[in-house]
Structure 1
Amino acid sequence: MITIYHNPRCSNSRAALELIRQAGHEPVVVEYLQAPPDRATLKELARASGLGLRGLLRSKETTYAELGLDNPALDDEALLDAMAQHPVLLNRPIVVGPRGVGLCRPPERVLDLL
């Protein structure tokens, strides 16, 4: 099974979804702004991707700066709190595939996970 944490307004996310479908798969599409992943899922995505929580944060969001998330002293619990309360902070698209978990920026990275 393939899962994509998707934002339909994001061109990278749309492109990754299209590449998955072109490869003959119909993924589970999680529109994470409407159905945010819980803390345990966020933690597992960070671990499985090898990126850690900071690697999954979207630092370009104004919420990132407003919450002071650039502070290196913040621990994982604080980052999880922020990400759980503000799903817009989750970078996208994140894909869970048979070959692992990854942030698919650029979208072609999804091919390595299929």
Structure 2
Amino acid sequence: MSDVTLYHNPNCSTSRNTLALLREKGVEPTVVKYLETGWTRPQLEGFLAAMGGASAKAILRTKEARAKELGLAQASDEKILNAMVKEPILVERPIVVTAKGTVVARPIEKALDVL
């Protein structure tokens, strides 16, 4: 299968394990190191739409200290998305995007749902 994109943080073991799982399944994804490229608001909104209109909290890395400092757990989608664009680390990882859908691969097996 081609046309799979993995939004990846190589410092994250879950992200590395998701990449390994995809490769084990014969998939060589396009890897986007989002900490280097950053996010756009339309891109994040596109993920949420592809996830069935999910709230921004669905892709918020709530364990990230910066999310707690900013009080994002109780914030509006507007505030969360703006913070994510400014600080890419706030987005949960890894995100797998295919023609079948978009998932946050936690646990990593969730990536299989969109293959």
Q: Same fold (TM over 0.5)?
A: yes
Alignment partners' CA distance in 1, 2:65 and 2:81: 17
1-structure distance, mates of 2:55, 2:6: 18
1:49 and 1:103 in contact (8 A); partners too = no
> Which stretches of structure 1, 4 residues or longer, exceed 3 Å deviation after superposition?
none
RMSD over aligned Cα atoms = 1.1
Quick one: which amino acid aligns to residue 6 of structure 2? I
Matched, 1:31 2:36: no
- State the 1:94 CA deviation: 0.6
Aligned residue in 1 for 2:98:
97
The 8 Å contact of residues 16 and 104 in structure 1, kept in 2 or not, is answered as: yes
Deviation at 1:25, TM superposition (A): 1.6
> Which consecutive residues of structure 1, in runs of 5 or more, have no partner in the other structure?
none
For residue 5 of structure 1, report the CA deviation from its aligned partner: 0.6
Cα distance in 2 for residues equivalent to 1:49 and 1:109: 13
* Identity across matched positions, percent: 45
Matches within 5 A, 1:14-29: 14-29=16-31
Q: Look up the match of 1:59.
A: 62
| TM-score in terms of structure 2 length | 0.91
Q: Distance in 1 between matches of 2:19 and 2:55?
A: 23
Gaps of 5+ in 2: none
Aligned residues: 112
Distance 1:49 1:14 in 2: 22
Aligned to 1:47: 49
Q: Could you tell me which amino acid in structure 2 is paired with residue 92 of structure 1?
A: R
